[in-house]
Structure 1
Amino acid sequence: MKKVSPKPQNAGFPERLKELRIQKGFSQEELAALVGLHKNHIGRYERGDSQPTADKIRKLADVLSVSGDFLLGNTTEDQAKVQIGDRDLLNLFSEVEKLSTEDKEKVTDFLDAFLMKRKMKQMVGR
């Protein structure tokens, strides 16, 4: 019987790093410069040939606007941060999360109405 080795704790890190780098529009060289590394290190991380230190994970996470846990695959909390690239919009949504349920419904109603009006204008060619 073939022995199955346990899944590494940071499985998916290389792919996640590359995906985030591309989503943010950074080349390997640009990301490396922002983190204080040589571009070859980013390539090694993305191939899974090397693992960054805790300090470098923190710096990578800061530059990519996610948590170190998300970068390592330990949480899904930052999924919205990856999908919402506009930092101002993300900050607004973070503030909306703090509102009462009633106020959240008002914001949702407003956004629904705004988007519906916009779609209607597009349909009539304005």
Structure 2
Amino acid sequence: MSMIGTKLARLRKQKGLSQDEIAALLNVSQPAYHKWESGLSKPTNDNILKICEVFEIDVDELLHDETSTFTGNTISDSTVLNSSNSVISNINMYSPELMGQLLKNQEQITQILLTQNKLIETMMQNIHKS
């Protein structure tokens, strides 16, 4: 089971929901949700956002400890999180509007990185098929 799959199962059980119930809340089929939990497939970026909304968590919490690969360099999300937390603690004294914009930007960056990872995975699969 993948790390995301393990987290999905844990979060679902904490809410006391069946796979059918959570799949309905996410507007996906139960077999699709089962594949996410078992690590047979990964949710799309849109579904990741829905999952976070249903479980009332942020994307970082769901993806924490996952690794992101960029052109041969591996950066752990925990390293990025620690850097982000340091920056956020240094700017807590600024306006709520600034904080809101920074959080919005961070969410957009996360989505871009998730999309980039998906594209890289697709490219790698195509290379292996050739």
TM-score, normalising length from structure 2? 0.48
Between Structure 1 and Structure 2, which shows a larger proportion of helix residues? 2
For the pair shown, the structure with the greater C-alpha radius of gyration is: 1
TM-score, normalising length from structure 1? 0.49
